[in-house]
Structure 1
Amino acid sequence: MGPEHRCGRTFYYKCANLDFLARHYMEFLRMNRKVTVDAFKEKVHKKLNVNITKDQVYKTFVKAKILIEGKYRQQYTRIWDYCEELLSSNPGSTVHVEIEVDEDSGKERFHRLYICFTALKKGFKEGCHPGLGVDGCHLRGPHSGVLLTAVGLDANDCIYHVAYAVVETENKMSWNWFIEFLKFDLKIHDQKRWTCISDRQKGLDSAIQEILPGVEHKHCVRHLYNNFKKHHPSETLKGKVSEILKIAGELSDIMKTFRGDF
């Protein structure tokens, strides 16, 4: 046997550089975007027996983010393949993608996408009430945008998904574009039979009035109350809102009976 080994152990290795850390933990960081610096340091130490500095952690986060977002950009170049596959596997569906040209670079880039599957169109026409609920929400991630959705109610009063779209922002133009597709796909001709429910989204009211002027447009009470309570945060007033809704429902039933709508 050789002499007893008394050298101290080092936990710093040149091989554990930014490129290695970013690539090795890219998937972990993609799935855990809120991981703290200290938690990541501890994870690296336990897994690799390597100590890294806080500065290395920050730079690793930046490097990994670039790698992740780069992959997102590459996926956008395959949007046409995705649309072709949807149409191939779902004949009769409406899949529409729009691009725009960047004024500075002159390159094409993704602008909007609308999807309504043929099975959903057929199911809605044959088994759902003539009404739509439309809403939008902001997309969180490397590339901003807004998701627009349309849902209905089936014969069991359960939510039935109809169509969705990804647009650049929420305004009258994007809502007009979305509602035009809905009008075409769902064959909304006898508009007086239809009801549309929404909150007060930007540009949505004017878009519905322009594209579907004959549709009865109602606003979601929950959203109205949330806006109301910002200025009047009172439990008493909250109870009054419930009473008003009850009276409105009873009045609606009376009017239906009066008109003979059973």
Structure 2
Amino acid sequence: MLKKATIAHTLLEDDGTPTQEDIDRLDEKLRNFAQNTQNIFSEEEDSTPISNVGRENNELAIGMVWTNIFEARKFIRNYAIINKFEYYQVKNEDYRLRYKCGDEKSWNAWTICMERIVGSYDEGYIIMPKLTVQVLLANPGSISTCNIDLMTNEWTGTCISYKGSMEGCLIGCRPLLGLDGCFLKGKYGGVCLSIIGLDGNNGLFPIAVFFCRSECTETWKKFLEMMEPYLNLHRHRLNLISDRQKGLIEVVSSVFPFANHRFCFRNMYKNMKKYHRGSHLEKLVWGDAKAWKQTKKKEFLDQLKLDDPAAYDWLHREPYER
């Protein structure tokens, strides 16, 4: 049709220059040709069979046998491509091929199984506000908050403290609270800040947890300010013990100005042994920390001062109760 339109133009025009009418007429013919023809190769494509690539590689069963090693390798290669996993060959043998999946794929299998049992991380963060509401409905009087950044609509923290835990702390726990944090090693990471009490049998008694992005002065202050009205109801003066990390000293002194702030000696000794090592010094400083009587404490300190004055001075740079 295009050839006929071109010939018609050359026969009508003697000067060889097309007019605007000829151009419009040719454009209309070409436009009609394009509309009536969707695929000029439709007959060729219909006559060519299209095979489903990898259809024969959908199943892999124990005891499968191939005619030769090349067919076996081809099957494994196509199977890995279809199912999207990586592998490496362990060893070539006369009668079998041995392949091993990468470590990251084993982790993926574990993740898939955990998602089927407890759900995925994505779904958990999506329904986090609903979960906090359900905690309040099922446990009236509890603390259950979900903090969201209004500017970015992103989750920033969740605080959970059951009413039974708070009442148990006030009634049956000693006035000693441990403040600590640990990293969350899930898909999105984060930190879990916790407040742990000590019951009458010297057992650990969980009181509250606060899930947040990082352990810092801001998150500790937000957590302790939420718990302060309930913890200060204890009939005795509170004693808080911590590892003095991430601004805890300043936050505790501002939120609990009348509480005693104790320091974890395990962390203190961990810093001390960088400069003063030895099993003998370790025995003396731990004896000093665990001494219940002033006379016993003085014995350990005097011996430490006699054996290693530098270690004695380092230890006395830290605040302690006389």
TM-score (norm 2): 0.58
1:236 aligns with 2:298: no
In structure 2, distance between residues paired with 1:149 and 1:251: 32
Task: Tell me what 2:203 maps to.
Answer: 158
The answer (yes or no) to whether the contact 2:143–2:161 under 8 Å persists in 1 is: yes
Structure 1 residue 253, shift from structure 2 partner: 10
Q: Which of 259, 271, 286 lines up with 1:215 in the alignment?
A: 259
Task: Tell me what 2:174 maps to.
Answer: 129
TM-superposition CA deviations, 1:15-69 (whole Å, max 9, x none) = 62456356xxxxxxxxxxxxx966xx78xxxxxx997687xx5896898899899
Task: Tell me what 2:294 maps to.
Answer: 251
Residue ranges of structure 1 left out of the alignment (5+ in a row): 23-35, 43-48, 255-262
The answer (yes or no) to whether the contact 1:199–1:219 under 8 Å persists in 2 is: yes
Task: Tell me what 1:100 maps to.
Answer: 149
1:36-75 aligned within 5 A: 57=102, 71-75=120-124
Moved over 4 A (4+): 49-54, 57-69, 189-192
Task: Tell me what 1:143 maps to.
Answer: 188
Structure 1 residue 170, shift from structure 2 partner: 1.2
Alpha-carbon spacing, 1:37–1:123, altered in 2? closer, same or farther (3 Å): farther
TM-superposition CA deviations, 1:134-165 (whole Å, max 9, x none) = 10111112212111011111111211111111
Q: Which of 133, 137, 155 lines up with 1:84 in the alignment?
A: 133
In structure 2, distance between residues paired with 1:252 and 1:99: 54
In structure 1, distance between residues paired with 2:78 and 2:139: 49
Structure 1 residue 108, shift from structure 2 partner: 1.3
Alpha-carbon spacing, 1:37–1:241, altered in 2? closer, same or farther (3 Å): farther
Task: Tell me what 1:29 maps to.
Answer: none
Alpha-carbon spacing, 1:189–1:123, altered in 2? closer, same or farther (3 Å): closer
Structure 1 residue 203, shift from structure 2 partner: 0.8
Q: 2:293 is paired with a residue of what secondary structure? A: helix
Task: Tell me what 1:20 maps to.
Answer: 83
Task: Tell me what 1:46 maps to.
Answer: none
TM-superposition CA deviations, 1:166-205 (whole Å, max 9, x none) = 111111111111111221233x057971111111211111
Aligned residues: 221
TM-superposition CA deviations, 1:196-220 (whole Å, max 9, x none) = 1111211111100010011011001
Q: Which of 161, 173, 186 lines up with 1:116 in the alignment?
A: 161
Q: Which of 164, 169, 186 lines up with 2:214 in the alignment?
A: 169
Task: Name which one, 1 or 2, has greater alpha-carbon Rg.
Answer: 2
In structure 1, distance between residues paired with 2:296 and 2:135: 44
Residue ranges of structure 2 left out of the alignment (5+ in a row): 1-64, 91-95, 298-322
The answer (yes or no) to whether the contact 1:191–1:214 under 8 Å persists in 2 is: no
The answer (yes or no) to whether the contact 2:87–2:100 under 8 Å persists in 1 is: no
In structure 1, distance between residues paired with 2:214 and 2:239: 25
Q: 1:110 is paired with a residue of what secondary structure? A: strand
Alpha-carbon spacing, 1:76–1:234, altered in 2? closer, same or farther (3 Å): same
Q: Which of 191, 194, 202 lines up with 2:238 in the alignment?
A: 194
TM-superposition CA deviations, 1:48-93 (whole Å, max 9, x none) = x997687xx5896898899899x42332111112112222222221
The answer (yes or no) to whether the contact 2:143–2:160 under 8 Å persists in 1 is: yes
Alpha-carbon spacing, 1:123–1:62, altered in 2? closer, same or farther (3 Å): closer
CA RMSD of aligned residues (A): 3.8
In structure 1, distance between residues paired with 2:72 and 2:196: 60
TM-score (norm 1): 0.70
Which of structures 1 and 2 has the larger relative contact order (alpha carbons within 8 angstroms, sep 6+)? 1
The answer (yes or no) to whether the contact 1:144–1:168 under 8 Å persists in 2 is: yes
